[in-house]
Amino acid sequence: MAAVQTTTVDINGGVTSGTSAAFGSSVQAGRAIMVGITTWNSGTSVTITGVTRDSDSFSQVATIDIGENTISIWKAENVGAGTTGVTVNASGTCDLTFAATEVSNVPTSSTADASNTATANNNDPTVSVTTVDSAPQMFGCFAHNQGDRTLTADGSYTMLAENEGGTNDMPLAWMYQLFASSGAKTVDGSIGLDGGTWGIVGASLKSEAEGGGAATPVRLRRMGLLGVQ
């Protein structure tokens, strides 16, 4: 297993912070948590001022603004055990959607591998991330500034969580793929035929077998909101 379980929340109408649903199962100590966040505020710049969960320490991996929308990925490594959800705090009122995923087979420190961001106006959110690790665990987070769109994870990516909003809430696509080699990897999704301006963030974590040593990529089975079933 790698992307073990995911929890989400979609909140709208002038909120300043939100806490995801608690994890369905206890997170295992020493693993990592990756968080994909999308926010929107009309005309005012809103930044994420912090991500918290018990005593875990989160840092922003990468972020991109597309007009009034912000897309970012945050991570915490060597996290504590328990089912506590993740809290995201914003600098002002906003619409806020995010997903948090427990990640196994990662080092307990220096987990970050590579990241990149991109934006364009079409229907194909894509970004290339030049990975270094031999078995990078890639996460992608994308959103758009349009009305409701169908969000899809392309290629061999698994959609861990999605909110197909846009008209009156903040869309989010949160996806994952475990690769078996280093080098340039494309994070690839789609926002349906109508397209629009999108932003995407890709970020990879290093792999390590739990208990130490190199990880062996595993074939992912059906993965829903609660991760591998």
Q: Which is nearer to other proteins, 93 or 108 (CB)?
A: 93
Q: Which is nearer to other proteins, 24 or 155 (CB)?
A: 24
Which tokens sit at 135? 């078995």
Task: Look up tokens 């080098």; give the residue.
Answer: 183
Minimal distance in Å, beta carbon 146 to other proteins?
9
Minimal distance in Å, beta carbon 200 to other proteins?
19
Minimal distance in Å, beta carbon 28 to other proteins?
16
C-alpha span between 98 and 182 (Å, rounded):
28
C-alpha span between 76 and 142 (Å, rounded):
20
Output the CA torsion 197→138→22→49 (10° steps).
-60
Q: Which is nearer to other proteins, 219 or 222 (CB)?
A: 222
- Sign of dihedral through CA atoms 2, 192, 187, 33? negative
Minimal distance in Å, beta carbon 52 to other proteins?
12
Which tokens sit at 229? 């079933």
Q: Which is nearer to other proteins, 170 or 187 (CB)?
A: 170
C-alpha R_g of the chain? 16
Cβ neighbours of residue 104 closer than 8 Å, sequence gap 6 or more: 1, 2, 4, 28, 31, 210
Minimal distance in Å, beta carbon 126 to other proteins?
24
Cβ neighbours of residue 70 closer than 8 Å, sequence gap 6 or more: 37, 38, 39, 40, 46, 47, 48, 63, 64
Which tokens sit at 57? 């320490």
Q: Which is nearer to other proteins, 142 or 179 (CB)?
A: 142
Minimal distance in Å, beta carbon 167 to other proteins?
5
Which tokens sit at 61? 């991996």
Q: Which is nearer to other proteins, 15 or 118 (CB)?
A: 15
Please give the residue ranges that form the binding site for other proteins (CB under 8 A). Answer: 7-24, 40, 42, 85, 87, 93, 95, 147, 163, 166-170, 224-226
